[in-house]
Structure 1
Amino acid sequence: MHLSRRRWLHAATGTLAVAAFSVPEAIVPAAVAEESSADDLTVIAYNVYQCRGWPSQRRGAMDAKAAGEMPERFAAALSPLNADVVVFSESPSESITTAIAEKLNRHVIRFPSGGNWPGTLLSRWEIIDSANAPVAGGTRPQDLFTRHWGRATLRRPDGSELIVHSAHLMPGADPGVRIREINAMLESMKPDLDAGRDLLLMGDLNHAPDTAEYQAWIDAGLVDTFERVGQGDGLTFKSDTPMRRIDYVFAAGPIADRIAESKPLFTSPFRLENDNEASFALSDHLPQLATFQLSH
């Protein structure tokens, strides 16, 4: 299916309201003219490995980081994809994510981590509110969301809203903490799910599709975009020889019936060229891209 593409650089208008839970003020890009279309929506979930390059010990990765080239490299890789929404797990310093957002001319909000793995959301559209770890009741248990979880509401060109949850769940073989994290997230999502609002869950969820954690999302009514329209195994980790599918774009609400494409980006510079010792991938994960055809 051929999908219409929007031209680059969307004009950002309106005001920004930042919700509670200690979320820093979002960065708003300068207004630049662009024709916007409501025909399609492209989103990317990407664990960026703190923008260190992978393997981070390779000379090319170390030199690029030392030279301050990583914002330019990430922006150059993401720019042709023209994504409306991008979420990062394992974000680098705020100065680097801000530089990437500026190069892409995107609004940006940072979701502080309970540990050392913050999240970032970059949006073509206005971010009208956001919250970090919005646990129902307002108190996040100290052992949950040590990576990150944040929620943002975006205003689309037609004035409608899109809810985006960016998340990076606890890794490890024991699913106990992940299940508690998922239960807390689903409790927080319930009003939006019950109301049938357009909602996306994006990120490194650190579980495979054949687990109780995955089934909890499905039972709650979320749709795995790759399971719906993807081809092959959809493996996202690691970026040299992928062996696991742990990065996802889930959808709920009317938008879940509009999934047109979902795939990991196993292409350079996202993938590691195994036969080229001078090369490095941007991260140890592959980005997961999904596109929604919104026009009838």
Structure 2
Amino acid sequence: MTDPKQWQSIEATAVLFFLLQAVRVLFSVLFGLIYDTIFAGRVPLVVTGLAVVVTFLAFLIPAVIPRRHGQGFPRWLAALVFLARVPLTVDHPMVRFVSGLVLIAAAMAYLTLRLRYTPLSVPSWLILALLGDQLVRALGHTYDITLRPGWLPWQGVLSLGLLGLTLLLHRRGPFREIAPQYRVEVGDGLAIGALLFLETALLAFPNALTRWSSGLVSGSQAYGFLAPALFLVTGLPLGRLSRRLMERLVNFLWPMGGVLFIVALLLSLILGRMALGPLSAGALLLAQWLGLLAIPYALADCPVEEKEQTGRALALGGLFFLVLHFAYAFTFTYPYTLPFFRGMGLPILLLAALVTALPTMGGAAFGDVEALRIRHSSIQVLAFVALGLLIAWIARPPRLVPPSPEGRVRAATYNIHYGYDTHWRYRLEAMAQALEENGVEVVFLQEVDAARITSYGVDNALWLGRRLGMQVVYQPTLEQLSGIALLSRWPVEAADGVWLTSALEQTAIVHARLRVGERGLDAYGIWLGLTEEERIRQIEEAVAFIGDAEPALFGGDLNSPPDSPVYRRLEAAGFVDPFRQLGLEPAPTEPSESPEKRIDYVWLRGLFPEEAHVPETVASDHRPVVVEARWP
């Protein structure tokens, strides 16, 4: 491959692909730092504050990129991105933080230069990067396969290969300065930042679309459809058919100067959030298509001027991207930060969508679609279709692992800490191994993320369900993307759940009616609040929701010791603590490394306990509780 333009496309796509990964990694590490500062006090406030400041500086780097520079400058920036991507694979917070900062700063500088010289190509490169990112996450059931320890040697080979090609295939010649050929306006820079927020917060994640559209179901079938569908819709703007549809859409929406385009994007997000099922899924896929179409029009009219401000515009876009993500994070952490942000997730997304689409209000730019007019060979089209089919095959509903003989049931509760251990290393595989080694057939999960950028965009419940061959019932509590879950090897006949009254962080109870051979079994999972006043009220609501269901399992993180009103209320409701019933000394469950408190429980009603223990695993910040029970 010696065509400089063809290589530049591969190079730029790789840089943007690694940028998307670095953003997920950096936000996940920052989440751990902020969490430890607020809750555990293990990290000084000044350290976390410094980390936030340097993060902002990395995104503001375009503002200081000189207008004139040597022709080899983009090459060296790309090389720095490829090298920084290698340590990003190492699952250590500090290593990932430093490498993520370096990568993001270099990638933002590189993007600044490409917007100055070839802005019409940037939308295509971004779409290709999004497709690559969706692929590596789909291959890992939402957990990016290239961010796991086993990928490190392969990443080294890939980065060195990209580095070598960059250095060899860029044309060499005498040093000369080059000046910008195009400019990007401030509004266009903000639109780029807003679109990147929409993609990294919601629209580029099929698991996020699944949780928005599927309600209280396992989500396996919805994810099996949405993963390949989103891949195809994301690549749609690059195809000829899509361009024809786009031009017709432009002609239809143009009479009001782009207003209808903006309205269509906003309504698709609103419908995606308010509706359920196919209507919601279709609206969210439409939002993805419209959002990706907005940026080419934003960059279609970039005349050369002396007062070029691309760097400043992209820096403001990066700043806006960060502000949107921090605001969106507050919608999940509002009880401990800013209560105003409770329930504000959709308004923040709508603001981002509005800013993304505002450049379409410009008349000349709205009619120019050159940014997506690229040629595709038949082999490239077939490869794209083949990758879509591969994703569909991987994302299909999994085969469930059969449970043990129906005479006994083995249940557990596990607060999985969003997939992290105490030191903020991602340990979902270790959690799965702990459950697998203990033969768990029903497990109640707390602190479950479904697609948050602060936990690598992974759907914890979906990933664990597929890893363990279990059916998943997910109950959202925060913005549809965080909550509690119930996993079962036994068939789920019905499922429901309700929110519990919560002045602080929203809590809930989830229920599944299981078919255990010829018998029925009701299973209830819960997470209770952090104040005793809330817990007393919430356990009353939970007991009322359960009613007289029997036989029943009840498990979760109750945030209550054995001598608490919550414990006594469950005993009064006829539930049995297996440890007390068996005369065992209950082991504490939290924190996992040196446990002191017993706040995680599995209770039984209408079942006889046979065994109860607390596995000594430190995969999460809590230890699981495992109970085996038999029928009367």
Which interval holds the TM-score relative to the shorter structure?
Answer: 0.7 to 0.9
Larger radius of gyration: 2
| TM-score, scaled to structure 2 | 0.35
Following superposition, the deviation at residue 72 of structure 1 comes to 2.9
Tell me if the contact between 1:114 and 1:142 (Cα under 8 Å) persists in the aligned partners: no
Residue number in structure 2 paired with 1:100: 464
% identity of equivalent residues: 24
Judged with a 3 Å threshold, the aligned counterparts in structure 2 of structure 1 residues 42 and 91 are, in CA distance, closer, same or farther, namely same
Judged with a 3 Å threshold, the aligned counterparts in structure 2 of structure 1 residues 290 and 35 are, in CA distance, closer, same or farther, namely closer
Match of 2:420 among 52, 69, 80: 52
Judged with a 3 Å threshold, the aligned counterparts in structure 2 of structure 1 residues 26 and 156 are, in CA distance, closer, same or farther, namely farther
Is 2:628 the counterpart of 1:291?
yes
Match of 2:220 among 27, 37, 41: 27
Following superposition, the deviation at residue 229 of structure 1 comes to 1.6
Tell me if the contact between 1:117 and 1:146 (Cα under 8 Å) persists in the aligned partners: no
Match of 1:179 among 536, 560, 563: 536
Tell me if the contact between 2:450 and 2:482 (Cα under 8 Å) persists in the aligned partners: no
Judged with a 3 Å threshold, the aligned counterparts in structure 2 of structure 1 residues 34 and 230 are, in CA distance, closer, same or farther, namely same
Structure holding more strand per residue:
1
Residue number in structure 2 paired with 1:275: none
Tell me if the contact between 1:89 and 1:148 (Cα under 8 Å) persists in the aligned partners: no
Q: Which residue identity is paired with 2:406? A: A
Tell me if the contact between 2:501 and 2:507 (Cα under 8 Å) persists in the aligned partners: no
Structure with higher RCO (Cα < 8 A, 6+ apart): 1
Residue number in structure 2 paired with 1:156: 516
Q: Which residue identity is paired with 1:156? A: V
1:52-89 deviation per Cα after TM superposition (whole angstroms, max 9, x unaligned): 12122xxxx2xxx3xxxx44332223222221101111
RMSD, aligned CA? 2.4
Following superposition, the deviation at residue 91 of structure 1 comes to 1.0
Query: Does 72-81 or 33-42 show the bigger shift?
Result: 33-42
Q: Which residue identity is paired with 1:251? A: L
Following superposition, the deviation at residue 144 of structure 1 comes to 7.8
Q: Which residue identity is paired with 1:46? A: Y
- Supply the distance in 2 between the matched residues of 1:92 and 1:149 (Cα, whole angstroms): 16
Is 2:429 the counterpart of 1:84?
no
Q: Which residue identity is paired with 1:40? A: R
Is 2:410 the counterpart of 1:42?
yes
Following superposition, the deviation at residue 117 of structure 1 comes to 4.9
Residue number in structure 1 paired with 2:489: 124
Residue number in structure 1 paired with 2:545: 188
Judged with a 3 Å threshold, the aligned counterparts in structure 2 of structure 1 residues 224 and 32 are, in CA distance, closer, same or farther, namely closer
Q: Which residue identity is paired with 2:571? A: I
- Supply the distance in 2 between the matched residues of 1:198 and 1:145 (Cα, whole angstroms): 30
Q: Which residue identity is paired with 1:23? A: L
Following superposition, the deviation at residue 148 of structure 1 comes to 3.1
Match of 2:615 among 262, 265, 268: 265
Q: Secondary structure at the match of 2:462?
A: helix
Residue number in structure 2 paired with 1:231: 584
Judged with a 3 Å threshold, the aligned counterparts in structure 2 of structure 1 residues 249 and 97 are, in CA distance, closer, same or farther, namely same
- Supply the distance in 2 between the matched residues of 1:89 and 1:33 (Cα, whole angstroms): 22
Matches within 5 A, 1:269-280: 270=617
- Supply the distance in 2 between the matched residues of 1:244 and 1:33 (Cα, whole angstroms): 33
Tell me if the contact between 1:90 and 1:118 (Cα under 8 Å) persists in the aligned partners: yes
Q: State the number of aligned residues.
A: 236
Query: Does 227-236 or 210-219 show the bigger shift?
Result: 227-236
Tell me if the contact between 2:411 and 2:626 (Cα under 8 Å) persists in the aligned partners: yes
Tell me if the contact between 1:259 and 1:290 (Cα under 8 Å) persists in the aligned partners: yes
Tell me if the contact between 2:476 and 2:483 (Cα under 8 Å) persists in the aligned partners: yes
Following superposition, the deviation at residue 22 of structure 1 comes to 4.2
Following superposition, the deviation at residue 39 of structure 1 comes to 2.8
Judged with a 3 Å threshold, the aligned counterparts in structure 2 of structure 1 residues 145 and 250 are, in CA distance, closer, same or farther, namely farther
Following superposition, the deviation at residue 233 of structure 1 comes to 3.5
Following superposition, the deviation at residue 93 of structure 1 comes to 2.4
Structure 2 regions of 5+ residues with no counterpart? 1-213, 222-396, 452-458
Tell me if the contact between 1:44 and 1:86 (Cα under 8 Å) persists in the aligned partners: yes
Runs of 4+ in 1 over 4 A off after TM superposition: 32-36, 114-117
Q: Which residue identity is paired with 1:164? A: A
Residue number in structure 1 paired with 2:176: none
Residue number in structure 2 paired with 1:251: 604
Tell me if the contact between 2:400 and 2:489 (Cα under 8 Å) persists in the aligned partners: no
Match of 1:133 among 498, 516, 522: 498
Tell me if the contact between 2:609 and 2:627 (Cα under 8 Å) persists in the aligned partners: yes
Q: Secondary structure at the match of 2:220?
A: coil
Judged with a 3 Å threshold, the aligned counterparts in structure 2 of structure 1 residues 144 and 25 are, in CA distance, closer, same or farther, namely farther
Match of 1:167 among 498, 509, 526: 526
Q: Secondary structure at the match of 2:622?
A: coil
Residue number in structure 1 paired with 2:429: 72
Q: Which residue identity is paired with 1:182? A: I
Judged with a 3 Å threshold, the aligned counterparts in structure 2 of structure 1 residues 117 and 264 are, in CA distance, closer, same or farther, namely farther
- Supply the distance in 2 between the matched residues of 1:176 and 1:190 (Cα, whole angstroms): 22
- Supply the distance in 2 between the matched residues of 1:132 and 1:31 (Cα, whole angstroms): 25
Q: Which residue identity is paired with 2:534? A: V
1:236-291 deviation per Cα after TM superposition (whole angstroms, max 9, x unaligned): 111111111100011112x1xx201112112xxx1xxxxxxxxxx31111100000
Judged with a 3 Å threshold, the aligned counterparts in structure 2 of structure 1 residues 25 and 96 are, in CA distance, closer, same or farther, namely closer
Query: Does 47-56 or 202-211 show the bigger shift?
Result: 47-56
Residue number in structure 2 paired with 1:109: 473
Structure holding more helix per residue:
2
Following superposition, the deviation at residue 108 of structure 1 comes to 0.7
1:95-131 deviation per Cα after TM superposition (whole angstroms, max 9, x unaligned): 2321221111111111111577511111001111111
Q: Which residue identity is paired with 2:405? A: S
- Supply the distance in 2 between the matched residues of 1:231 and 1:55 (Cα, whole angstroms): 31
Judged with a 3 Å threshold, the aligned counterparts in structure 2 of structure 1 residues 151 and 143 are, in CA distance, closer, same or farther, namely farther
